[in-house]
Amino acid sequence: MKRSTVALAAMLATTVTLPATAQDRTKDLLRELADAPGPSGFEEPVRKIMVERMKPLADDIRYDGLGSVIARQGSSGPRIMIAAHMDELGGIVRRTTPNGFLTMQMLGGWLDQAIAGQRWIILGSKGPVRAVSSIRDVHLAPQEERGQLIRRDAVFLDVGASDSAGVAALGIAPGDPIVPDSPFIDLNGTGNYAGKAWDDRIGCAVLLVAMERLKASGHPNQIFFTATVQEEIGLRGARASTAIVKPDIGIAIEGGVTGDSGGAKPEESQVELGGGPGLFLYDSSALPNRKLVALIKATAKQAGLPLQLDLVQGYGDDSAEMQTVGGGAPTVNLVVPARYTHVHTGIINRRDFDQMVDLVVALVRKLDAKTVAEIRDFTP
């Protein structure tokens, strides 16, 4: 895995380096995190980035038994857990066919229509291998098939091999991880960035930048900046890390869902790209604490920050585990809006990201012992 990770990093490092005076450290961080391969259960390259950047900012770093990173900052005050997950949607190699194609076990909530006709990278034992997912050729498909969904079990990976021996020679075997091939791009100078894995590398970036700012300014808490694993296959890392942290307050930082692209219905999402950070009032896994919601609204207003409110079906996040494990804690899910999640390429807005960092930093500074005690008081 180490050899393939190093080789992949070298292969993906094709962007032009800007002069030092023009370097945008935040954009570089977003690019590095988005481009890193890390499907559920194979988060090593992302964990390496997170740990290297957390070390000089943390009092100590621990890991749960699944590989989540728990970086503590501060030694007294309320225990505030701020979590973002490192894993992305991807897959693993299931088997090789006699004629050299591969089948995939998908990891996470893919739409079937997002899988066919795409480029992928397989992390094999000899390094990264480029692949293309098959699609029914339009010249062969009868008219009645052309508008139909291609099911995932009808999609194969093509690595150019002609037989199973050719696949093995490339260093590919069952169980090898697969990620989308979709490098980061600054989208035409619009302030929007396109790339893979914004769910939830955007949250990982918020953790790192907020951690740096809070280290410099100070805060009244013990903050546990937690980069979790295996969120996309059942919130598993958050469950394990919450049992270690035992938070007084839990905050998940996620990639949100926008309703501003073509085909979305008004009741599906009210969030727009470029409209500022978002706050979930409901999702399928968790209801936020109402006092914490009120504090976030007041904090955003006081700081002059926009705040978008949303309710989304079919969505789960790490706050659900922080909310219930070990006796429970008041939690909330804050989101950086993202278009096109759970597909090869999504889009985020830089200002939304910067404003989310501002909101998280301002919120943490307000969570002193008295405020946390009031939020946790359920006395009638």
Question: Are the C-beta atoms of 88 and 254 separated by less than 8 Å?
Answer: no
The pLDDT assigned to 8 comes to: 47
96/310 Cα distance (integer angstroms): 43
Q: Going by C-beta distance under 8 Å and a sequence separation of 6 or more, which residues neighbour residue 271? A: 256, 257, 258, 259, 260, 278, 308, 310, 335, 337
Q: Going by C-beta distance under 8 Å and a sequence separation of 6 or more, which residues neighbour residue 64? A: 70, 237, 240, 241, 243, 244
Taking the complete model, does pTM exceed 0.75, yes or no? yes
Taken in order of first residue, the domains within the chain and their CATH numbers are 2-88+184-375 (3.40.630.10), 90-180 (2.40.30.40)
129/260 Cα distance (integer angstroms): 36
The pLDDT assigned to 114 comes to: 86
Tokens of 306: 């926009």
276/151 Cα distance (integer angstroms): 36
Establish whether 232 is an annotated binding residue. Answer: yes
The pLDDT assigned to 111 comes to: 84
Establish whether 43 is an annotated binding residue. Answer: no
Q: What is the dihedral of CA 256, 260, 265, 270, to 10 degrees?
A: 50
Please write the tens of the pLDDT for every residue from 316-361.
Answer: 899 999 999 999 999 999 999 999 999 999 999 999 999 999 999 9
Tokens of 52: 């290297």
Residue ranges in the chain whose pLDDT is less than 50: 1-21
Longest distance between any two alpha carbons in the chain, whole Å: 70
**Among 280, 313, 314, 333, residue whose Cα is nearest residue 108:** 314
Angle between helices 198-217 and 44-54 (to 10 degrees): 10
Q: What strands, in cross-sheet order, belong to the sheet with 192-195?
A: 185-186, 192-195, 346-349, 338-339
231 is catalytic: yes
Establish whether 212 is an annotated binding residue. Answer: no
Exposed, middle or buried: residue 320 (CB in 10 Å: 0-12, 13-18, 19+)? Answer: buried
The pLDDT assigned to 18 comes to: 40
Establish whether 199 is an annotated binding residue. Answer: yes
Question: Are the C-beta atoms of 69 and 105 separated by less than 8 Å?
Answer: no
109/231 Cα distance (integer angstroms): 11
**3-class secondary structure, 252:** strand
The pLDDT assigned to 265 comes to: 67
**Among 344, 379, 269, residue whose Cα is nearest residue 314:** 269
Find the length of the chain.
380
363/303 Cα distance (integer angstroms): 10
Question: Are the C-beta atoms of 175 and 93 separated by less than 8 Å?
Answer: yes
> Beta strand 222-228 with 308-312: parallel, antiparallel or unpaired?
unpaired
52/207 Cα distance (integer angstroms): 13
The pLDDT assigned to 136 comes to: 61
83/318 Cα distance (integer angstroms): 7
Catalytic residue among 32, 43, 44, 231: 231
Question: Are the C-beta atoms of 228 and 237 separated by less than 8 Å?
Answer: yes
Q: How many CB atoms lie within 10 A of CB 120?
A: 23
The pLDDT assigned to 23 comes to: 72
The pLDDT assigned to 314 comes to: 77
**3-class secondary structure, 375:** helix
